[in-house]
């Protein structure tokens, strides 16, 4: 009897493995040397450059977005503050965090220090009337790196978020 049960179960297990394999196989590392980073995602990020005004002047934010489905998105943004080198990273990270919360009329519900090599960063959970967000910020060599995962308030942050955030790494480039 046990032999027949295993024989019946084996094709079902193989089918499950076969169905799961393409989802994992779709992950790839994408390198953006011009912006100084690499990240692994299940699909190639789309790129958009957005001008922004800061206390340090006009800058261009380079935004890379991946749609994870189910109304979940992950984005990576790099903004070279140009004159920001030599500034205290903790002050910059605090200003970026507070600025985002204020502009979105959101509330920071959790915060923890994170690191990327020797660089310190901050990870926050922020909620607005419509969305929840997990955001990781780093300020390195005058550049702000922001990783953001968003979901509607009624849904959870995508489980892929941790894998994407943890895969983020710095690479050499003209702006590094």
Q: What does the H/E/C string look like for 26-61? A: CCEEEEEHHHCEEEEECCCCEEEEEEEEECCEEEEE
The answer as to whether 117 is a domain residue is yes
Q: How far apart are CA 52 and CA 94, in angstroms?
A: 18
Percent of the chain with pLDDT over 90: 56
The pLDDT confidence band at residue 25, using thresholds 50, 70 and 90, is low
Residue 127 has pLDDT above 60, yes or no: yes
pTM higher than 0.85 for the full model? Answer: no
Gap between the terminal Cα atoms of the chain: 64
Task: Please report the pLDDT score of residue 7 as a whole number.
Answer: 36
Name the residue range of residue 73's domain.
28-170
The answer as to whether 4 is a domain residue is no
DSSP conformational letter for 136: E
Which CATH number is 154's domain given? 3.40.1000.10
Q: How far apart are CA 64 and CA 150, in angstroms?
A: 14
Q: How many domains does the chain have?
A: 1
The answer as to whether 6 is a domain residue is no
The pLDDT confidence band at residue 173, using thresholds 50, 70 and 90, is low
Tell how far CA 71 is from the center of its chain: 15
């Amino acid at each position: 009897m046990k032999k027949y049960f295993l024989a019946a179960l084996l094709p079902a297990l193989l089918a499950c493995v076969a169905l799961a394999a393409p989802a994992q196989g779709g992950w790839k590392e994408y390198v953006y040397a011009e912006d100084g980073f690499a990240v692994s995602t299940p699909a190639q990020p789309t790129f958009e450059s957005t001008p922004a005004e800061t206390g340090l002047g006009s800058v261009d934010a380079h935004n890379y977005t991946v749609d994870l489905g189910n109304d979940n998105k992950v984005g990576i943004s790099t903004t070279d503050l140009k004159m920001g080198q030599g500034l205290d990273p903790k002050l910059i990270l605090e200003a970026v965090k507070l600025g985002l919360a204020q502009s979105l009329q959101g509330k920071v519900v959790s915060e923890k220090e994170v690191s990327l090599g020797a660089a310190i960063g901050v990870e926050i959970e922020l909620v607005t009337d419509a969305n929840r967000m997990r955001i990781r910020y780093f300020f390195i060599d005058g550049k702000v790196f922001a990783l953001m995962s968003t979901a509607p308030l009624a849904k959870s942050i995508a489980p892929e978020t941790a894998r994407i955030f943890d895969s983020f790494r710095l690479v050499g480039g003209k702006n590094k």
